[in-house]
């Protein structure tokens, strides 16, 4: 019996959804209710920018966007805490406050958003990231696994200062690179 293309895709999507649900369930059993407490989750990290020290990635509590916040605003804020799920070469970034993963939406300067695991219209690789090699200033490119040429960008479109709009990606060769680099630091 020959399987139809649609049945095969359906089974593949079901396997991905089951795997994503399993990952989310495992995370939920390990992570205490973050919103009920200002305590930092053990193992949680901040993702701090390599150019703008003191600026970290945070998920919005109000919509699906990702923003930069100062470390002083991030203290005790579960929306600024991340769990890296997987090795540095391919991982998901699970946000402690939202219980969702950070995802790439496609294209140069595409929005970085929060999604339920396994729901990206681009497939599961859009919900994956990788760390590039260490740069001379001691930080690492945070690259989309779906398109390794796209990196999470902290620079404002209006100039060389931290973004005040939702975070997007940018190609490594377009402008400065320091704003495309990040470090994992212990959340406070």
The domains found in the chain, sorted by start residue, are 5-186 (2.80.10.50)
What is the structure's pLDDT at 41? Answer: 84
Q: What predicted TM-score, i.e. pTM, was given to this entire model?
A: 0.79
Average pLDDT, the chain: 84
Contacts 24+ apart (CB under 8 A), 31-35: 31/83, 31/96, 31/99, 34/78, 34/81, 34/96, 34/97, 35/78, 35/97
Given pLDDT bands bounded at 50, 70 and 90, which one contains residue 39? Answer: low
Q: d(Cα 82, Cα 63) in Å, to the nearest integer?
A: 17
Q: d(Cα 161, Cα 158) in Å, to the nearest integer?
A: 8
What is the structure's pLDDT at 152? Answer: 97
What is the structure's pLDDT at 175? Answer: 65
Q: Do 92 and 23 meet the contact criterion of CB atoms below 8 Å apart?
A: yes
Mean pLDDT of 91-114: 97
Given pLDDT bands bounded at 50, 70 and 90, which one contains residue 40? Answer: confident
Mean pLDDT of 70-89: 97
Mean pLDDT of 5-19: 41
Given a cut of 80, whether residue 15 has pLDDT beyond it is: no
Higher-pLDDT residue of 83 and 38 is 83
Given pLDDT bands bounded at 50, 70 and 90, which one contains residue 75? Answer: very high
Mean pLDDT of 44-54: 97
What digits encode the pLDDT tens for the residues 161-178?
999 999 999 998 766 799
Mean pLDDT of 138-165: 95
Tokens found for residue 138 = 């001691």
Q: Where are the beta strands (DSSP E) in the chain?
A: 45-49, 55-59, 66-70, 82-85, 92-95, 100-104, 112-115, 129-134, 140-144, 150-153, 168-171, 181-186
Q: d(Cα 116, Cα 103) in Å, to the nearest integer?
A: 9
Given a cut of 50, whether residue 7 has pLDDT beyond it is: no
What is the structure's pLDDT at 188? Answer: 92
Given a cut of 70, whether residue 136 has pLDDT beyond it is: yes
Least confident of 53-67, 120-134, 170-184: 170-184
């Amino acid at each position: 019996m020959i399987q139809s293309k649609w049945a095969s895709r359906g089974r593949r999507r079901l396997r991905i959804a089951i795997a994503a649900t399993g990952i989310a369930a495992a995370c939920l059993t390990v992570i205490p209710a973050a919103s009920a407490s200002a305590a930092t989750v053990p193992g949680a990290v901040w993702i701090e920018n390599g150019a703008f020290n003191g600026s970290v990635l945070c998920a919005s509590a109000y919509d699906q966007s990702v923003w930069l916040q100062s470390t002083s605003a991030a203290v005790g804020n579960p929306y600024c805490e991340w769990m890296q799920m997987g090795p540095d070469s391919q991982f998901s970034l699970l946000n402690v406050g939202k219980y969702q993963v950070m995802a790439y939406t496609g294209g140069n300067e595409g929005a970085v958003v929060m999604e339920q695991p396994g729901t990206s219209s681009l497939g599961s690789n859009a919900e994956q990231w990788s760390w590039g090699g260490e740069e001379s200033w001691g930080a690492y490119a945070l690259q989309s696994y779906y398109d390794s040429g796209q990196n999470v960008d902290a620079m404002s479109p209006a100039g060389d200062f931290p973004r005040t709009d939702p975070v997007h990606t940018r190609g490594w060769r377009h402008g400065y690179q320091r704003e495309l680099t990040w470090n994992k630091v212990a959340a406070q």
